[in-house]
Structure 1
Amino acid sequence: LSGGEAQRVKLTKYLGRNHLNDQILVLDEPSTGLHPQDLAGLLVVLDRLVRHGATIVIVEHNTDFIRAADWIIDLGPEAGPRGGRLLYEGPPEGLLAVPDSRTGQALKEEANLKPRQPSPTPDFEAPAIIAIRNARANNLKGVDVDIPKGKLTVVTGVSGSGKSSLVGDVLQTEARRRYLESLSMYERQGLSEGAQAPVDSITGLGVTLTVAPQLAHLWSQIPQFTRRNSVGAISEIDFHLSVLLAALGKRTCLDCGTEMMRGNEWACPNCASKAALAQPRHFSSAHWSSSCKKCNGLGALQIPQPEKLIIHPDKPLCAGAMYSPGYWPQSYLCKDQPIIAEIGKQYGFDPQKTPWNEMTEQAQKAFLFGDGREYTWTYISKGGRSKGKENQSTWIWHGFYGEGWLYSGDIHGTYTRQVVCSDCGGAGLRPEYLAVKLEGGNIFELSELPLNQLETRLRALALPLSTPSFVETSLEVIQRRLRFLRQVGIGYLHLNRPTGTLSAGEAQRIQLASLLGSRLTALTILVDEPSRGMHPSELAALRQALLELRDEGNTVIMVEHDPMLIRAADHIIDVGPGAGAAGGAIVAQGSPAEIIKQDTPTGRGLREEYLRFSQGRRQPKGWMVIRGARANNLRGENVQFPLGTLTGVCGVSGSGKSTLLMDTLGRALVKKMHSTSFSHEPFQPGEHDGIDNAPQRAFLVDQTRSGIHSPAKYLDLEKPLLKIYADSDDAQALGLTEKSLSQRCSTCRGQGTIRLEMGFLPDEWSTCETCRGTGYYQEAWEVRIEGVALPEINALTIDQVYQLFQKEENLASRLEVLQQVGLGYLVWKQLAYTLSGGEVQRLKIAKELIKKAKNKTLYILDEPTVGLHLADVARLVEVLNRLVQAGHTVLAVEHHRHLLAACDWIVELGPGGGPEGGRVIAAGTPEQVAQMDTPTAPYLRELLEHKR
């Protein structure tokens, strides 16, 4: 109850009493929260109490109460020290004559009030543009740009030109900041706001939604991509399907199996049993009232498998008994948080010396399944403000298999075995909700159907004439989203597919589907390269979906390189002209017809000027064979790949390309190191019979930034540079060595910046004044070569450093490789998070070229053209050809027709996705595949004929 409600409830106990002469009732502002119409009723009640003898004292400001009073006591004249005097006591009429009374003045003014003349409402015009002023994120050079609202705008440019900085680091960062500012302090205290967008102003942005290609397989890092979440939940199809089941579903009786009759409740005509009607929420396993009681809605149980954990029972727990491929569990439980040592003290074993099979059964059970005891131990903090300090920690030990991390993290069965829940059969729901069916299937059975089959099933659904409009709307939304998902090539998915297993492209298309049919308008929708992972045959549906979002009154801004989507735009913003320091400017704006005439990389790309194909295809130097690959939808065929060539593996979405090349071949040949025992993807390669004639070495070239700090550090360029400076005359005269020159600034610990925590506001970062933002010790500034000090190298580009040291063979030869792969514009100490995906990939290839590996290597690339402009694709082809010319083999999963046309050999999987794919439907040179009847052939044929 509110305070006013509580007061009025208390008054009711005095009503009906006839003798209240000895009662004094004190009320504190009883008019609070009351509409003027309700005041009259309250005054009538108070008058009745007075007539029965009660004395009522009210603290009040409401003038209606003051006029109705029998006696007024007015205090004032002001508040605080200037108040506290008795100005008047008596009937209300006398108060008007008191000159110092603010209450009397208010009563006079209210008596003289007259109705105001209505003033015209000013016309409000929504801004027609999103105006960005002085944007300077990363390499942006203080750009001013106007983006039309209600249009489809494409931001494009070569890799590293600054287009993602404009959309992501400026627009998206500012939109996030504005959203967080709308939250209360309490809600914001657990959120990291990050730095403010480096821009002077953005007007007209509006409510903003970002559809980005999240790394969905990193499910533990993204809230919506979790083990409990599914395709149906993210696309919101689950919700609308639940509405259909609740309104139109038919239920069988759990007691006798007879179909029940729907009324105000379910009633069985055979055994007369009854049951409540299900609500839409009851068809979600995430809801407590409907989730299976045995598995808590997960649909599966993790059964402990101690034999997977204790792989060497003849060794001590902390000396090799446990399977620990990474940091966890051995390093964590034995060193960083040494709880096993405390358990050993309790049960009389030494985890460093006592073999597992010599521990008592009681000790083994305590470690595996817990004993409920509270253990306290000391440890040395590795980070934060207490780094290096001794701390204490206390746990109630529930055992290795009793802790929560195992059941939420071990999804690939590193230490457990997953079994389907026997109570719900994997559905995660209680029997009474699984008994409700629509078109012959319950919610679980419908959600297990491939999306294209579910679309067909629901198309046959006949709605009764009495169907409520909201049910019709739900059916319409489902059909619209299913149609889009089928058209963009992921009709092979099902609604129960965990989002943690999706590729980045699949996750992005599902996010887009959730917007279709939502009827949201006036949004600003930011989309980062929606064409990633899509076959050319699927792009038309994506283009139509983006245009539908625009036609519903939204502003769509996307970073994109695909010519088909660029031509569909209303407005194009071309960022460039080059990459890195050579980019960061707006080189062209306008319609596609205007941009195609411009002498810019995008204009030349739209005119197909980047088509460069080799005159003759290279001949294979042998054949590698993957025998009997059967993972996911692969059909167990033997697949041949030519060695010593550039080979493209293509096919529609879900045809099995990544399963064959990355999950089977890649995992079999490239042993991946994991930092923890719980991998985000399986350790083992996909099921296959064997791989014949594989090269001695294999290397995965992806676009992840893991292990990259800066170009100089990644390519090990700092050591030869330090040696050059240490051997210089200045260093010799000052007695400085490589070690002393490499010392880091003690003020900022080599970071170059100092963070100032601002509480609820975003943290402020300032440049370290001691080292001038370089992170180097002061002595390093005193050594100069060609007038350039060692710390000043950090801000120079690779090209500039090459000009300084081109006579130093050890360093110059490495820098030349970077220039040859088109990365000479990168800054020496450019941080990895500012690098584009294409730059990261070329950086990894440059490292391989610098190594000059003697062993013939197989390079495996997964969609290397993602994030690349047509000009970058041409450069990438040149780099890949260099690897092949050096005697290596390159295999690439790819959709980009320009790269496929430049390959020596193409292997196409299909013909469809999911169950309809998994077969080799074409293999040959681009010219041979172009003449076949496959999904890729017409796009290759068009390109090759255009080149002629």
Structure 2
Amino acid sequence: MSIIRVHGAKQNNLKNVSVDIPKHQITVFTGRSGSGKSSLVFSTIAAESERLLNETYSTYIQHQLAQFSKPNVDLIEHLPVAMIINQKRLGGNSRSTVGTISDIYASVRLLWSRIGEPFVGYSDIFSFNNPKGMCPECSGLGYVENIDLDELLDYDKSLNEDAIQFPSFRPDSWRGKRYLYSGLFDNDKKLKDYTEDEFNTLLYTKPTKLKNPPENWPKTAKFEGLIHRFRRSFLLNDNFEKNRFKDAIDRVVTSKKCPTCLGKRLNPDVLQCKINDLDIADFTNLSIDEALHFIKQINSPKAKVIIEPLQQQLSSLSYIGLNYLTLSRETTTLSGGESQRIKLIRHLNSALSDLVYIIDEPSIGLHPDDIQRINEIIQSLKDKGNTVLVVEHDPDVISIADYIIDLGPLAGKNGGEITFTGNYESLLKSSTHTGIALRKQHQLKSDPRTSHDFINLEHIDRNNLKDVSVKMPKQAMTVVTGVAGSGKSSLIHAGLKQVPNTIFIDQKPVHASSRSNLLTYLNIFDDVRTYFSEITHLKKAMFSYNSEGACPECHGKGIIKTELAFMPDFTQTCDLCHGKRYKPEVLEAKIEGYNIADILALTVDEAISFFQEKKNIAQHLEALKSTGLNYMTLGQTLDTLSGGEIQRVKLSKYLTQTVHQHTFVFDEPTTGLHEDDIPILLNCFESLIYNNNTVVIIEHNLTMMTHADWIIDIGPFAGEKGGKLLYQGAPHGLLTINDSVTARHLQRYIDN
């Protein structure tokens, strides 16, 4: 069959959606944020494809794979195997680089082992993750970390008085008790009074079985010096705790370039081996474009079979707009958009066809000039006989669709329906929010704000920026533009970090778990619980699913997970609380017919109506609504929010109180926003400026540029070909700059 047929999709806010999706075509899913696009494409179609594919493997293999529960859909017919290219950051750890994650470093190692001189060994010796090749001092990390004892210890205190200044080593914690219960120390003795032997025992003892341990010492435990335990727990491994205690680790640990390998990660013998005067680390520190130039200069018939595919891989990275990256760049530092593009090029040369590629907002983090290349790649995936499904807001990506499915009409409970299916020309004529937004004519701001008072950033040297100076008008909106990697973020972050009263509102996830929700982040869950306690006369702690009110069966999680040997984990909704997380008696306590779980299920809009008399709660909810997040439910956990949604939640915190004389910096605030929702965000910025604040926006979105009072354009291109100030001033002046690719696309946008 030449269609994928979805029957009765009810996942999240989808209202029994049935739709036919053409195969071997590009279908773009549009609609406002929260309309149900991701629920249909990712939570239903992609999840079902992965679940059915996993079921074909043995139970042992299934246990090793990510688990997908059956989505809430009646049936999906003619569903191909899905390849999902999402915005999830590549992550990894300090040992994972652009070179290793893309498999390019394997070819580079082979090349140096084949023609590098002098010969030092085969390709595995060039791996900084191999004990034979890694630098012995830093174990292949390129940097060494030292623990600052003056930060870790308070010498004026005893172990009983919290002498170890780190959250998980407090006297009442299990790690702290490993010292208090050891019987090796006088727990009331100040550290400054310790003998040298006592101090060495506390800090440097290797894991040892205690000879005569006290009664309260765990039977199988070994005593381990504080330095060894700290290094093992927080420095040698990338784990959940390392993220959880990041601020405390940053205070205690100092990091510097390894003095032995100078950051090159490999041992001195391996670094002797060179091609055209470069060792392998010198090569991986080149930008992709520079690396490509270097490879083209190598003339070796013996290595031709390695060089040609390597050249092709590097060309793909450059073509997709990542020419400014280096192969040595750690994957943990890549943005969601950069991660997605690396995933995308993995599929460019794949021989597989008849797959369904599912791509999540490929325009994110991309300048309009780079979006044209992404469009070509999407087209090439289709030309190889695949079906491509794209969730997208960007007009330039929507325009290449063979077929468009629009969801809405609004968001959350007011969305979840198919409002349009058809081609691009028909969408433009439709009465949907997407059609209306795409038809809209755009002009540059006719009367931009002028100011005699400027923020001056002078002589900025950072990454590819060389002595760049710019100025930004106070109490106005400055938009900073330029292709990805041109130096926009480097300029603003390096320059404004020194300026007092600067607030950076980015898209980085807040440290959150499945137990933290919108209300906890906004610090109003406490007010909600107090209100319920006052009216119902139950203890306040009963209205917390992390405390006394938790359902005894699922401990406040709402689900029961059963681990089965050699079988996937089995997750089911808790039978006692039916997923509501609370004890039965808490669910019986109601205000105006609503229990606490009903409140958490309300959207922001509904909750504003419910709490209209409780100004301290309603004020925060109104601020959320003003950023366009009115469709979210109060109990939505923070770990399910997109980058754009997180940024708007952070912004809402500053809209509940009047802040004056501050500079607000936003990094691509239109991420994940429908064109029709951009005016909502602009109103927030206007409100900040009205209160005498300055707004600086790093942005690729052309609509946002048309509302600027002042534009700073960095370029002309990325990496070494960027980093120059092309223009600063009123928006109209940018259009006269011939070197600016931003100007070219902005002119096209206002001419349409």
Bin the TM-score by the shorter chain. Answer: 0.7 to 0.9
In the superposition, relative to structure 1, how do residues 372 and 704 fare at CA in structure 2: closer, same or farther (>3 Å)?
closer
Q: Which has the larger radius of gyration?
A: 1
Of the candidates 97, 100, 121, which is equivalent to residue 233 of structure 1? 100
In the superposition, relative to structure 1, how do residues 901 and 185 fare at CA in structure 2: closer, same or farther (>3 Å)?
same
SS in 2 for 1:923: strand
Q: Contact between 2:406 and 2:421, CA under 8 Å: does it hold in 1?
A: yes
CA distance in 2 between counterparts of 1:804 and 1:625 reads 47
In the superposition, relative to structure 1, how do residues 394 and 544 fare at CA in structure 2: closer, same or farther (>3 Å)?
same
Q: Contact between 2:136 and 2:267, CA under 8 Å: does it hold in 1?
A: no
Partner amino acid, structure 1, of 2:719? G
The answer as to 2:190 corresponding to 1:354 is yes
SS in 2 for 1:649: strand
CA shift, 1:451, in A, is 0.8
In the superposition, relative to structure 1, how do residues 481 and 540 fare at CA in structure 2: closer, same or farther (>3 Å)?
farther
CA shift, 1:788, in A, is 5.1
| 1:214-267 residue CA offsets vs partner (Å, 9 max, x unmatched) | 234xx4xxxxx22212111222222333444555x253368xxxxxxxxxxxxx
Partner amino acid, structure 1, of 2:199? Q
Q: Contact between 1:137 and 1:198, CA under 8 Å: does it hold in 2?
A: yes
Q: Residue in 1 aligned with 2:481?
A: 650
Q: Residue in 2 aligned with 1:294?
A: 136
The answer as to 2:659 corresponding to 1:883 is no
CA distance in 2 between counterparts of 1:172 and 1:309 reads 48
SS in 2 for 1:368: helix
CA shift, 1:773, in A, is 3.1
SS in 2 for 1:698: strand
Q: Residue in 1 aligned with 2:580?
A: 773
Q: How does 1:852-867 map to 2 (within 5 A)?
A: 852-867=657-672
In the superposition, relative to structure 1, how do residues 747 and 879 fare at CA in structure 2: closer, same or farther (>3 Å)?
same
CA shift, 1:870, in A, is 1.0
Q: Contact between 1:349 and 1:359, CA under 8 Å: does it hold in 2?
A: no
CA distance in 2 between counterparts of 1:168 and 1:461 reads 45
Q: Which moved more, 1:891-900 or 1:132-141?
A: 132-141
Identity percentage over the alignment?
Answer: 27
SS in 2 for 1:630: strand
Q: How does 1:100-179 map to 2 (within 5 A)?
A: 127-179=1-53
Gaps of 5+ in 1: 1-126, 220-224, 255-277, 381-389, 669-689
The answer as to 2:521 corresponding to 1:702 is no
CA distance in 1 between counterparts of 2:261 and 2:526 reads 63
CA shift, 1:415, in A, is 2.5
In the superposition, relative to structure 1, how do residues 618 and 522 fare at CA in structure 2: closer, same or farther (>3 Å)?
same
| 1:254-285 residue CA offsets vs partner (Å, 9 max, x unmatched) | 8xxxxxxxxxxxxxxxxxxxxxxx65545433
The answer as to 2:740 corresponding to 1:938 is no
Q: Contact between 1:374 and 1:397, CA under 8 Å: does it hold in 2?
A: no
Q: Residue in 1 aligned with 2:208?
A: 373
| 1:760-783 residue CA offsets vs partner (Å, 9 max, x unmatched) | 244232255557837365366464
The answer as to 2:490 corresponding to 1:659 is yes
The answer as to 2:117 corresponding to 1:251 is yes
CA shift, 1:864, in A, is 0.9
CA distance in 2 between counterparts of 1:873 and 1:371 reads 58
Q: How does 1:717-756 map to 2 (within 5 A)?
A: 744=549, 746-748=551-553, 751=556, 753-755=558-560
CA distance in 1 between counterparts of 2:623 and 2:148 reads 51
Q: Residue in 1 aligned with 2:717?
A: 912
Q: How does 1:416-815 map to 2 (within 5 A)?
A: 416-420=254-258, 422=260, 426-428=264-266, 431=269, 435=273, 437=275, 441-462=278-299, 464=301, 472=305, 474-608=306-440, 611=442, 614-620=445-451, 622-662=453-493, 665=496, 668=497, 690-691=498-499, 694-695=500-501, 698=503, 700-702=505-507, 704-706=509-511, 709-716=516-523, 744=549, 746-748=551-553, 751=556, 753-755=558-560, 757=562, 759=564, 760-766=567-573, 768-769=575-576, 773=580, 775=582, 778=585, 781=588, 783-785=590-592, 791-804=597-610, 806=612, 812-815=618-621
The answer as to 2:738 corresponding to 1:871 is no
Partner amino acid, structure 2, of 1:766? T
In the superposition, relative to structure 1, how do residues 808 and 591 fare at CA in structure 2: closer, same or farther (>3 Å)?
same
Q: Contact between 2:51 and 2:70, CA under 8 Å: does it hold in 1?
A: yes
CA distance in 2 between counterparts of 1:613 and 1:316 reads 66
What TM-score comes out, normalization by structure 1 length? Answer: 0.69
Q: Which moved more, 1:860-869 or 1:203-212?
A: 203-212
Q: Contact between 2:505 and 2:650, CA under 8 Å: does it hold in 1?
A: no
Q: CA RMSD in A?
A: 3.8
Q: Residue in 2 aligned with 1:843?
A: 649
Q: Contact between 1:752 and 1:771, CA under 8 Å: does it hold in 2?
A: no
Partner amino acid, structure 1, of 2:409? P
Q: Which moved more, 1:474-483 or 1:447-456?
A: 474-483
CA distance in 2 between counterparts of 1:317 and 1:578 reads 58
The answer as to 2:222 corresponding to 1:395 is yes
Of the candidates 117, 127, 131, which is equivalent to residue 284 of structure 1? 127
SS in 2 for 1:452: helix
CA distance in 2 between counterparts of 1:899 and 1:638 reads 23
Partner amino acid, structure 1, of 2:339? A
In the superposition, relative to structure 1, how do residues 930 and 415 fare at CA in structure 2: closer, same or farther (>3 Å)?
same
How many pairs are equivalent? Answer: 732
Q: Contact between 2:460 and 2:494, CA under 8 Å: does it hold in 1?
A: no
| 1:155-213 residue CA offsets vs partner (Å, 9 max, x unmatched) | 22211111122222223333443454344434444556253333333344433332222
Partner amino acid, structure 2, of 1:929? L
What TM-score comes out, normalization by structure 2 length? Answer: 0.85
The answer as to 2:173 corresponding to 1:335 is yes
CA shift, 1:455, in A, is 1.3
Q: Which has the higher contact order (CA 8 A, sep 6+)?
A: 2
Q: Contact between 1:746 and 1:777, CA under 8 Å: does it hold in 2?
A: yes
| 1:783-842 residue CA offsets vs partner (Å, 9 max, x unmatched) | 453x55665444333333444554665555555444444333333434444544444433
SS in 2 for 1:201: strand
Q: Contact between 1:525 and 1:555, CA under 8 Å: does it hold in 2?
A: yes
CA distance in 2 between counterparts of 1:833 and 1:415 reads 28
Q: Contact between 2:30 and 2:434, CA under 8 Å: does it hold in 1?
A: yes
Q: Contact between 1:860 and 1:892, CA under 8 Å: does it hold in 2?
A: yes
SS in 2 for 1:195: coil
Q: Residue in 1 aligned with 2:89?
A: 215
CA shift, 1:707, in A, is 5.4
CA distance in 2 between counterparts of 1:710 and 1:571 reads 37
CA distance in 2 between counterparts of 1:897 and 1:159 reads 18
Q: Contact between 1:702 and 1:841, CA under 8 Å: does it hold in 2?
A: yes
CA shift, 1:588, in A, is 1.8
SS in 2 for 1:345: coil
In the superposition, relative to structure 1, how do residues 809 and 369 fare at CA in structure 2: closer, same or farther (>3 Å)?
closer
CA shift, 1:648, in A, is 1.7
CA distance in 2 between counterparts of 1:501 and 1:643 reads 31
Gaps of 5+ in 2: 243-248
| 1:649-681 residue CA offsets vs partner (Å, 9 max, x unmatched) | 22222222223334663xx4xxxxxxxxxxxxx
CA distance in 2 between counterparts of 1:213 and 1:604 reads 27
SS in 1 for 2:449: coil
